Amino acid sequence: MHAAGKVTLLSNHLAGYTQTLCYDDMPREVVHEVKRRILDSVGCAFGAWNAAPCRIARQVAQAVKVPGGATLWGTTHKTVPDLATFANGALVRYLDFNDTYLSKEPAHPSDNLAAVLAAGETTHASGKRIILAIALAYEIQCRLCDAAALRTRGWDHVTYGSISSALGAAKTMKLTEAQTAQAVNLACVANVALRQTRVGEMSMWKACAFSNAARNGMFAAILAQRGMTGPAPIFEGEKGFMKLVSGPFELSRLGGERGPDERPVPFKILETSIKHFPVEYHAQTAVEAALALRAEMIEAEGPHAIQHLSEIEIGSYDVAIEIIGRDPEKWHPATRETADHSFPYCVAAALLDGRVTVHSFDSQRLRDPALHELMKKIRVVPQPELLGRYPAAMPTRIAVTTATGKVYERQVDIPLGHPDNPMSDRDVENKLRRLASRRVGRAQVERLIGFVWKVEQEKDIAKLMPLLQVIHRDL
């Protein structure tokens, strides 16, 4: 970064931005979008309550009890903030149903919420400070994703998450500018994650990779608050991040800063997407197209039309194919983590069932012979005319051929939940209601929704935690 004719280290620039950003800098639509993301994220957390990696993370965190610590969502147990961040973050991420940002590097920026809320609870932060810190964490992560791709160099996108979570926690904890710069140094030096997490057959770690990065970002902020220093310059140094991990990059102006026209730069949270289906984001348009095709075929040929398909072609663009339509495991998914990152599985489930829900990836469904037979008929092919349209659009074209040779085709470019095709507030609320319905009572859910819509009026975010308690734990 360049200021007044001299070079400013990126870590110092991020620290300065974090220090000076104020709640009054937040446009009304940014505040509103943060609230929508809180509702969406806690809904995802309720839906993932009993998932195996989430249980493991919670059990590890429950081994440490800290009065006055951070709450493990769904319980009354309080632990150290970094372990709470890990366990709660896994809940948000597990279903692959939380929000998304697509750029040179894709991301799920709501993964930052667990760190901000853990820091907020332990410092009794106000609702306004929580909103500010969440918007800040989104801003940093998304701008880094704009600046340089990591997956092409073998690194995972969660690598940026330790930095954004550290800054979100630092803002919440009111670290000084110098402490915040050290938090960045500490978070960045030790948390470079391998892309192997998202290659081939996927493991439980997919749900935990970012929550681990956020845990380490939180830990970095705690260390920096107590005077720990980290290596610098961490980005520009001889053996630093840009030399070994990302390659050189320039960070664009950040939200609220003045652009060339002297107008405030819009905040990145406004460019993130909420998911309508619990599948990897590149599959959102594929599922929408498959559901529309299914309805058209059934109307034309009757309910048995799906059983007599001879061929299914999924046409997409290079990034989508690389992530969810290339590896052989995508045609034989043995885990939920692989299935929701599989073009063939998601499309086959949509065609067979007429819906895709969190239960579309249950273990029994994964073994369904009819589903596997249909996947054998699917091929994924690049479409030259769709190249170059990502990330502004995520076009997917599906063509199915019936046994009689008739072809049905449908293309969807912009999925529901995208900033250009947003879900309504009511849609977001109902998503939370559905995901929470098996865990908490209706009255509690409505109190939670009411709390979040007015969270800027709260003096202590700790009041949120009782509203996250799970009643039905073993369903």
User: What backbone torsions phi and psi does residue 122 show, to the nearest 5 degrees?
Assistant: -75, -20
Strand pairing report for 78-79 and 70-71: antiparallel
pLDDT tens sequence across 187-244: 999 999 999 999 888 899 999 999 999 999 999 999 999 999 999 999 999 999 999 9
| Cβ neighbours of residue 355 closer than 8 Å, sequence gap 6 or more | 291
Strand pairing report for 78-79 and 309-316: unpaired
Q: Are 163 and 185 in contact (CB under 8 A)?
A: no
pLDDT tens sequence across 439-469: 999 999 999 999 999 999 999 999 999 999 9
Query: Residue 294 has what pLDDT?
Result: 94
Q: Are 429 and 417 in contact (CB under 8 A)?
A: no
The yes-or-no verdict on residue 403 having pLDDT over 90 is no
Residue 325's alpha-carbon distances to 2, 14, 122, 191, 204, in angstroms, are 42, 37, 43, 28, 20
* Residues paired with residue 409 on neighbouring β-strands, in sequence order: 399
Integer Cα distance of 127 and 82 in angstroms: 20
Query: Residue 475 has what pLDDT?
Result: 44
| Cβ neighbours of residue 371 closer than 8 Å, sequence gap 6 or more | 345, 348, 349, 352, 365
Tokens of 227: 């005077």
pLDDT tens sequence across 48-98: 999 999 999 999 999 999 999 999 999 999 999 999 999 999 999 999 999
pLDDT tens sequence across 138-156: 999 999 999 999 999 999 9
pLDDT tens sequence across 315-347: 999 889 998 999 999 999 999 989 999 999 999
pLDDT tens sequence across 373-396: 999 999 999 988 888 888 888 999
The chain-wide mean pLDDT, for the chain, equals: 94
Domains and CATH numbers, the chain: 2-276+450-468 (1.10.4100.10), 281-412 (3.30.1330.120)
Number of Cβ within 10 Å of residue 132's Cβ equals: 27
CA neighbor of 61 nearest in space, from 52, 50, 46, 73: 73
Integer Cα distance of 112 and 106 in angstroms: 14
The yes-or-no verdict on residue 4 having pLDDT over 50 is no
Query: Residue 387 has what pLDDT?
Result: 80
pLDDT tens sequence across 91-139: 999 999 999 999 999 999 999 999 999 999 999 999 999 999 999 999 9
Query: Residue 471 has what pLDDT?
Result: 85
